[in-house]
Chain A
Amino acid sequence: MTVRSNSLDIFADSGHMPTARDYFELLKPRVMSLVIFTAFVGLMMAPGTVHPVIAFTAILCIAVGAGASGCLNMWYEAEIDARMKRTAGRPIPSGRVSRGEALGFGVTLAVGSVVLMGLAVNLAAAALLALTIWFYVFVYTIWLKRRTPQNIVIGGASGAFPPMIGWAAVTGGVSVESVLLFAIIFFWTPPHFWALSLFTSEDYKAVGIPMLPVVAGERETRKQILLYSLLLAPLGVLPWVIGMTGMIYGIPAALLGIAFVAQAVNVWRERDSHQAARGLFKLSLIYLAGLFVLLLADKALGGAF
């Protein structure tokens, strides 16, 4: 039966036949690509070797686990997504996939990816993957997102786990270096999302999500962005300082950190405009991708410098 109302059941069954593409969209493929990349770098940076098939399986499990998290996030957030311009076209709010189908799909992929990781790779990587999915779905999506402006600070941990999982897939454990990769993404997340929320806060305000600009105002958000940027920049250079990488990583990472802080200062000084915030949002993407590409380059050149 096709019934549309404002209740949670509006997405229950629209009579629409979902396509494979609709299911693929539930996995948030753009987020998944970043997760795959950071997990791959974690896997490559880890000491030791792993069979290429096992490495591929580990990356596949991480990707599917991340996709499952995204799918379960869309299942829970369907009603909010329907009221936000940016997310109204997603498969559930647009009626292409029912909430039940999304829930079943997400749970199946989450369980499947953790089980396969445990059987084919190792238990440490499987445990970290399970923790990541649990953290994103229960701690971030269900518990924190609608309750506190610190939602993305704590919830950001789930996005920071993939390089640790990649590392654990090779070594079977956790080490200072893998925690450092985690910390870089963890401290990168708040300035990245707060810069975005500065120019999309109206959307969040309309649906009652307590993003920092909505709750504490733009002035406080700009100050917090600067504080986190000041923490992030030295953290980005730490892999060089502790001898994990050479100068090929260290010097460009330091320059990227300086550029990040300089742009954060611009955001802090900005009034009645979001131009600098947009600039920082774009720069933050370049910064994180840049650091992880540099890690790979440094590793490939074997710390020649």
Chain B
Amino acid sequence: MPLSEHHKKRRGRNLALAAVLFGLVILFFFITIAKLKGA
């Protein structure tokens, strides 16, 4: 069944949010590594 416009927008927004959260996880990982090296 084709998704309604509303569902498409919600899915797009959720995917964007997931990408941001995933990006933050990666960033925090590398910040930790950088800080540990600095210490």
Contact = CB atoms under 8 A, between A and B. Distances in A.
Contacts of B13: 17-20, 23
A120 B9 contact: no
Interface in B20-39: 27, 30-31, 33-35, 37-38
A51 B34 contact: yes
Nearest to A17: B9
Contact of A57 (B16, B17, B27): B27
Interface string A94-131: 00000000000000000000000000100000000000
Q: Provide the main secondary structure of the chain A interface.
A: helix
Nearest to B28: A120
A23 B17 CA distance: 11
Interface string A39-54: 0000000000001011
A53 B33 contact: yes
A53 B16 CA distance: 23
Nearest to B37: A51
Contact of B12 (A20, A51, A53, A54): A20
B7 to A, nearest CB: 9
Contacts of B16: 20, 23
A53 B31 contact: yes
A54 B12 CA distance: 30
A286 B13 CA distance: 36
A82 to B, nearest CB: 23
A23 B31 CA distance: 26
Interface in A42-82: 51, 53-54, 57, 60
A53 B9 contact: no
B34 A54 contact: yes
A112 to B, nearest CB: 9
Nearest to B10: A17
A23 B35 CA distance: 32
A182 to B, nearest CB: 27
A54 B10 contact: no
Contacts of B17: 20
Top-10 shortest CB links A-B = A20-B16, A53-B34, A51-B34, A17-B9, A53-B30, A120-B31, A19-B9, A20-B13, A17-B6, A54-B34
13 contacts: A17-B10, A18-B13, A19-B9, A19-B13, A20-B16, A20-B17, A51-B34, A51-B37, A51-B38, A53-B34, A54-B34, A57-B31, A60-B27
Interface of B: 6, 9-10, 12-13, 15-17, 27, 30-31, 33-35, 37-38
